[in-house]
Amino acid sequence: MTAHADATLTAESAESAAIAAAAATTAPAPAPAPAADRGAETTENPMRYIEPGRPTLVFNTTIAWLTRRGLSMWGSRVLAVRGRKSGEWRTTPVNLLTHEGAEYLVAPRGITQWVRNLRAADGGELRVGKRAQAFTYTEIADADKADILRAYLKRWKWEVGVFFDGVDASSSDEDLLRIAPGYPVFRIETRG
C-alpha cells in the first residue's frame, strides 16, 4: 500500500469516526420507562432523588425571588443550610407545613442536596425577606409520616403532586406508608 493510500484511509477513518460521534450525540434519548416502572424505582426507594427539570427550576427561581423579597407564597421559605463539604451557606425554596401545631419540611423530590446538607448540620435558617429564623430539627420516622404527607399533599398537590407517582391526600395510610421512605420529613424546632 502506498503512502497516499494510507493517508486516504486515515482521513476516511477520521471522517467516519467524526460522523459516528456526531450521530451518537444527536441520537434521540431512549424512551422513559412506563409510569408503573418509574413508580417502583422512585417511591419505594429510600435513596430516591428526582432531579429538577426546567419547569421546576423556573418555578423555584421565581418563588425564591419573591420569598427573598418578603412575599411568602403559600407558606414558602428560603431554606439556608451550610454545605456539608464546603461549609458555605446553600439556599433553596421550600414549603413550610404547619400541621397539628408543629412545623415540618418535606422533601418531595427525595434525597436532595438540601436534605443531605441538613442531615449533616445541626440546623439551619428559614428566611422570608430580611427575617431569618434559626432552627434545629428532628427527622420523622417513616412509620410516623402518613398524616404529615397527607397534610402536605392537601396543601401543595398542585405544585408537588407530580413527584408523588399517583399517591395523593385521599390515598390510604398503607399507600402513604409504602412511599414514606422516599420522602424525608423534618419537624422544625425554632431557636430562641
The predicted-structure confidence for 133-157, as pLDDT tens digits, reads as follows 999 999 999 999 999 999 999 998 8
pLDDT at res. 192: 62
Distance between CA 56 and CA 110 in Å, rounded? 14
The predicted-structure confidence for 96-111, as pLDDT tens digits, reads as follows 999 999 999 999 999 9
pLDDT in tens, the chain (192 residues): 444 444 433 344 444 444 333 333 333 333 333 333 333 333 456 688 888 889 878 887 888 888 888 878 778 899 999 999 999 999 999 999 999 999 999 999 999 999 999 999 989 999 999 999 999 999 999 999 999 999 999 998 888 878 888 899 999 999 999 999 999 999 999 986
Residues 77, 186 contacting (CB under 8 angstroms):
no
Distance between CA 10 and CA 94 in Å, rounded? 57
Q: 35-190: CATH homologous superfamily?
A: Electron Transport, Fmn-binding Protein; Chain A (2.30.110.10)
pLDDT at res. 172: 95
* Among candidate residues 95, 92, 91, the one with its CA nearest the CA of residue 75: 95
pLDDT at res. 56: 79
Distance between CA 49 and CA 38 in Å, rounded? 12
User: What residue type is 94 in one-letter code?
Assistant: V
Strands 76-82 and 102-106, by their bridges, are: unpaired
C-alpha cell at 44: 419505594
Distance between CA 68 and CA 65 in Å, rounded? 5
